[in-house]
């Protein structure tokens, strides 16, 4: 007696599932972006209220997790940035893998425009930042801060515009942001890893090989991935490489389809996304967006560090994304999506200037001084808010055109 072996989903089923996943992702990411905005607003109000001491004291509270005498002790803020954000990076890794294998980045025809736009959107803001901070060498390590785009915040803004924005433009923004995330991950790994403990990095490599083996065998149970994922995070943390990169490495090991023919990566993404969108990222925003304006003069925004970040996000993103997209289309390398015009691409380049989550994250890696971190927050918040408002106005104008 024989039993039929499960088969992997056929191409039409994969296409339908991918389209459904994209719709679900855009819907949840947009809603999460709105929650993110609320969390950021609460943080700013809290940090400038009579309860501000409680806010900053809570973030500095030491929390220790030990098992058998071995463990990790960090402030609450660092637990959020190093541990909770590893889940954010895990989701980013899953999204990148899906987009590369079956989504917007699976072919040159689909990916050429967002690739050029994203490369410009990373390079131009960094150049703007460096140009403004050439006279302040102590600030130059923050060059990558304005290169980032906050996809949740950006899609949340587009969600508020509803049907005034075509789905094709949202998909283009998603693809640009995914490539931007790949660039941010590489930047963190290459430029924000001060020192490495070889023994711990070797232990992490062993765990990663085991995870890759499970992925190669398309193991269906999530338990071994989860257990080894925690071990990988611990060894990467202790190695000196930023611990959140463990989330990306774990994501690369999750198979698209397991041995039973079930969509394993899609399942992980579906289960993880609500937690990241509605808990992890809002908590990060609540912990990192609180900048105190006490004693701060309006002229503080004109200091090189915040000004470089703000103009990198506001001006650099426009130059980079719109400029390289225009060159790619005019040279015949890429083409605009159906239903998307140049005015909408301009609006998208401004919306992509909302750096927030990843910009604040890189800022925390680049600087240790509270004064510099406050300046980073000021630059990120001001640049992101102005870019968001300007982007909305351009997209509304494009709708009427």
Taking residues 293-316, report their average pLDDT: 90
Summarised one tens digit per residue, pLDDT across range 344-401 is 999 999 999 998 888 999 999 899 898 899 999 999 999 999 999 999 999 998 876 6
- Give the pLDDT score at 264: 93
- For 68: left if phi > 0, alpha if psi spans -120 to 50, otherwise beta; the answer is left
- Paired strand residues for 248: none
pLDDT at 244 over 50: yes
| Residue 273 half-sphere exposure toward CB, CA atoms < 13 A | 21
**Over the stretch 21-79, which tens digit does the pLDDT of each residue have?**
555 655 555 677 778 888 989 999 999 999 999 999 999 999 988 877 777 888 998 89
Q: Note whether 85 and 280 are within 8 A (CB).
A: yes
Residue 218's alpha-carbon distances to 97, 252, 256, 352, in angstroms, are 15, 12, 8, 36
Please answer whether residues 225 and 212 qualify as being in contact, where contact means their C-beta atoms are separated by less than 8 angstroms.
no
DSSP 8-class letter at 303: S
Alpha-carbon gap, residue 293 to 382, rounded angstroms: 13
DSSP 337: P
Instruction: Assess contact for 290 and 55: CB atoms under 8 A.
Output: yes
Domain regions of the chain by residue span:
31-50+75-193+242-290+300-397
Query: Which residues are bridge partners to 74 per DSSP?
Result: 63
Q: How many CB atoms neighbour CB 45 within 10 A?
A: 13
Looking at residue 19, its pLDDT comes to 57
Closest CA to 176 of 156, 154, 205: 154
Q: Does residue 5 surpass a pLDDT of 50?
A: no
Q: Is the pLDDT of residue 13 over 60?
A: no
CB 142 within 8 A of CB 378: no
Contacts of 114 (CB under 8 A, 6+ apart): 104, 105, 172, 175, 176, 178, 179
Alpha-carbon span 257 to 158, nearest angstrom: 32
**Does the pLDDT value for residue 9 go beyond 60?**
no
Task: Decide if 192 contacts 242 (C-beta within 8 A).
Answer: yes
* Under 8 Å between Cβ of 252 and 97: yes
Question: What number is the average pLDDT over the span 306-326?
Answer: 96
**pLDDT score of 255 more than 90:** yes
pLDDT at 4 over 50: no
Give the DSSP H or E segment for 74: strand 70-75
Architecture, CATH, for domain 31-50+75-193+242-290+300-397: Up-down Bundle (1.20)
Closest to 110 measured CA to CA, from 166, 159, 167, 168: 168
Q: pLDDT per residue over 141-175, tens digit each?
A: 999 999 988 877 887 788 777 777 887 888 888 88
Percent of all residues in the chain with a pLDDT value above 70, rounded to a whole number:
92
pTM of the complete model: 0.80
């Amino acid at each position: 007696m024989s039993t039929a072996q499960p088969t992997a989903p056929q191409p039409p089923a994969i296409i339908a599932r991918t389209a459904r996943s994209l719709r679900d992702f855009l819907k949840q990411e947009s809603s999460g972006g709105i929650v993110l905005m609320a969390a950021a607003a609460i943080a700013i109000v809290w940090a400038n209220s009579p309860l501000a001491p409680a806010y900053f004291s809570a973030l500095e509270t030491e929390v220790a997790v030990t098992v058998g005498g071995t463990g990790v002790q960090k402030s609450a803020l660092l637990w959020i940035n190093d541990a909770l954000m590893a889940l954010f990076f895990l989701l980013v890794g899953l999204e990148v893998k899906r987009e590369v294998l079956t989504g917007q980045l699976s072919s040159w025809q689909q990916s050429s425009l967002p690739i050029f736009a994203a490369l410009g959107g990373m390079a131009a803001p960094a150049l703007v930042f460096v140009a403004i901070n050439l006279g302040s060498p102590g600030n130059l390590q923050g060059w990558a801060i304005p290169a980032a785009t906050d996809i949740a915040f950006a899609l949340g803004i587009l969600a508020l515009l509803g049907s005034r924005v075509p789905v094709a433009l949202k998909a283009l923004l998603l693809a640009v942001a995914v490539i931007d995330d790949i660039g941010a991950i590489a930047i963190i790994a290459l430029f924000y890893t001060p020192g490495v403990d070889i023994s711990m990095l070797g232990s992490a490599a062993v765990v990663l090989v085991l995870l890759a083996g499970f992925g190669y065998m398309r193991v269906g149970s999530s338990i071994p991935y989860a257990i080894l994922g925690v071990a990988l995070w611990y060894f990467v943390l202790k190695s000196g490489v930023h611990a959140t990169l463990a989330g990306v490495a774990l994501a690369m090991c999750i198979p698209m389809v397991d041995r039973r023919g079930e969509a394993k990566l899609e399942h992980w993404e579906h289960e993880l996304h609500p937690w990241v969108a509605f808990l992890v990222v809002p908590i990060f925003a609540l912990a990192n967006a609180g900048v105190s304006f006490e004693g701060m003069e309006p002229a503080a925004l004109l200091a090189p560090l915040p000004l470089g970040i703000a103009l990198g996000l506001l001006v650099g993103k426009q130059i980079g994304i719109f400029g390289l997209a225009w060159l790619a289309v005019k040279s015949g390398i890429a083409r605009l999506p159906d239903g998307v015009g140049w005015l909408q691409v301009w609006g998208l380049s401004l919306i992509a200037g909302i750096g927030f989550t990843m910009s604040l994250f890189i800022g925390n890696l680049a600087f240790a001084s509270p004064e510099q971190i406050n300046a980073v927050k000021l630059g990120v918040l001001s640049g992101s808010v102005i870019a968001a408002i300007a982007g909305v106005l351009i997209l509304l104008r494009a709708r009427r055109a």
